[in-house]
Amino acid sequence: MSRTMTPVEVLSPPVPRSAVVPSEGSGAAARRLGVRKMPKLEWNDEVERATAHLYERIKTVVPPVEWPFFAPYVKAINELKRQRNAVILAHNYQTPEIYNCVADFVGDSLQLAREATKTKAEIIVQGGVHFMAETSKLLNPDKVVLIPDLLAGCSLAASITGEDVRLLRERFPGVPIVTYVNTSADVKAESDICCTSSNAVQVVESFGVDRVILIPDEFLARWVATQTKVKIIAWKGHCEVHERFTAEELRKYRETDPNLQILAHPECPPDVIAEADFTGSTSAMINWVKDHRPKKVVMVTECSMADNVQAETPGVEFVRPCNLCPYMKRITLPKILDSLVYLRHEVEIDPTIAERARRAVERMVRLKH
Ligand code: SF4
């Protein structure tokens, strides 16, 4: 189907914003469920035997010399998860030893939160950033949700506040506000509905109106505007990982092999998306590689994802432009273990904000696919 290009009006935040540092919880879960003794962490024959099947999964991306460091943590975390009745949700950008060896569910942020609603586990440990842990808590209010590092923030989520959204509503009365899930609960609470990079076009069109505010990612909004006739009002927020890619670097990759397949995330700048053979969310990119099995591919997104997909798709060669997300990389095996032992850091959301934010997320979840 051919689509018409639609103009995008981009608004700027009034002042630059620094990363949001979430507050530490009250430790209520630790008082209720108790803390455990830190397990002994040593590399020995027993640990090697118990984790050999897990190393098999990542041996193409984690060198043997590194495994003796990871394996004692992997064994301890998996045992403690069972004892605590806990699950680990790992985003596609988590490192291979987390994604493949300790996670119970993997995927994009919404997939993770949805999966968590189906689990009978009492505790959720979020292998991801703070807004993801908040979304998990919103959809699982009765569970204990833990984020292993309080500084696992997000440049995009930090680009906008609930107050900004209230001002937008005053400036554009009656225009629906769609908020990307990469935002704080405070921002979601001021929105009509949430969206992800995989359903943003569908959500924007669900109102049946000719103008919609889509915040805070400018580049996602620009991409959506190329896919719909709805006029988009955008916000000048960016993901600091995806905004660093350039069209020139992709052209250089293509020059080295004209058959190279380029997959780009919609948080990339428009000229980068224009160079891509496929644009989609992290899950859509993974499915594309599994379905098409290209000989050589470059995933224009956070670089751990290529490692994780590589482990699942032997035979596909990945070109790796390595843009790391510094916030995602704050989550490590030692911090996950710490989180399970001491039940920290518990995510708590003000109930009045949580109720309104949950409504925006659930409205999106209820949309038919
Ligand atoms: S990759 Fe970008 S959007 Fe995702 S957490 Fe990191 S900074 Fe935020």
How confident is the model over 74-118, as pLDDT tens digits?
Answer: 999 999 999 999 999 999 999 999 999 999 999 987 788 788 788
42 Rama class: left (phi>0) / alpha (psi -120 to 50) / beta? beta
The residue whose C-alpha atom lies closest to atom 2 belonging to ligand 1 is: 239
Q: Which of 20, 92, 132, 239 to mutate to test the pocket of ligand 1 (most atoms within 8 A of CB)?
A: 239
Is 92 a pocket residue for ligand 1 (Cβ < 6 Å)? no
Is the pLDDT score of 16 beyond 60? Answer: no
Q: Which of 126, 155, 197, 245 to mutate to test the pocket of ligand 1 (most atoms within 8 A of CB)?
A: 155
Alpha carbon distance, N-terminus to C-terminus of the chain: 18
Is the pLDDT score of 141 beyond 90? Answer: yes
Residue 326 CA: nearest ligand 1 atom is: 6
Mean pLDDT in the chain?
Answer: 91
CB half-sphere exposure, 287, CA atoms < 13 A: 9
Torsion sign across C-alpha atoms 73, 75, 77, 80: negative
Q: How far is the CA of 13 from the centre of ligand 1 (A)?
A: 18
Residues 6+ apart with CB under 8 A from 158: 17, 18, 19, 20
Phi, psi of 40 (to 5 degrees): -70, 135
Is 241 a pocket residue for ligand 1 (Cβ < 6 Å)? yes
pLDDT at 84: 97
Is 215 a pocket residue for ligand 1 (Cβ < 6 Å)? no
Element of type H or E holding 212: strand 211-215
Element of type H or E holding 123: strand 123-127
Beta strands in 147-204 (DSSP E): 177-180, 193-195
Q: Is the peptide bond before 345 cis (omega within 30 degrees of 0)?
A: yes
Is residue 237 within 8 Å of 13, Cβ to Cβ? Answer: yes
Residue 302 CA: nearest ligand 1 atom is: 1
Is residue 73 within 8 Å of 98, Cβ to Cβ? Answer: no
pLDDT at 138: 93
Residues 6+ apart with CB under 8 A from 226: 3, 5, 6
Q: How far is the CA of 242 from the centre of ligand 1 (A)?
A: 8
Distance CA 100, CA 309 (A): 10
Q: Once rounded to an integer, what is the mean pLDDT over residues 312-319?
A: 90
Distance CA 181, CA 186 (A): 12
Residue 128 CA: nearest ligand 1 atom is: 5
Distance CA 220, CA 234 (A): 9
Is the pLDDT score of 18 beyond 50? Answer: no
Residue matched to tokens 């919404």? 110
The residue whose C-alpha atom lies closest to atom 5 belonging to ligand 1 is: 154
Element of type H or E holding 9: strand 8-11
Which pLDDT band holds residue 19 (cuts at 50, 70, 90)?
very low
Phi, psi of 123 (to 5 degrees): -125, 135
Q: What does the longest C-alpha to C-alpha distance in the chain come to?
A: 66
Q: Once rounded to an integer, what is the mean pLDDT over residues 268-296?
A: 94
Is 48 a pocket residue for ligand 1 (Cβ < 6 Å)? no
Is 180 a pocket residue for ligand 1 (Cβ < 6 Å)? no
pTM, two decimals, is: 0.90
Q: How far is the CA of 45 from the centre of ligand 1 (A)?
A: 39
Q: Once rounded to an integer, what is the mean pLDDT over residues 354-359?
A: 96
The residue whose C-alpha atom lies closest to atom 8 belonging to ligand 1 is: 154
- Angle at alpha carbon of residue 267, lines to 319 and 179, rounded to 5°: 150
Residues 6+ apart with CB under 8 A from 221: 8, 10, 214, 215, 232, 234, 235
Is the pLDDT score of 221 beyond 70? Answer: yes
Please compute Rg for the chain using Cα positions: 21
Is 154 a pocket residue for ligand 1 (Cβ < 6 Å)? yes
Phi, psi of 26 (to 5 degrees): -85, -10
The residue whose C-alpha atom lies closest to atom 3 belonging to ligand 1 is: 239
pLDDT at 172: 98
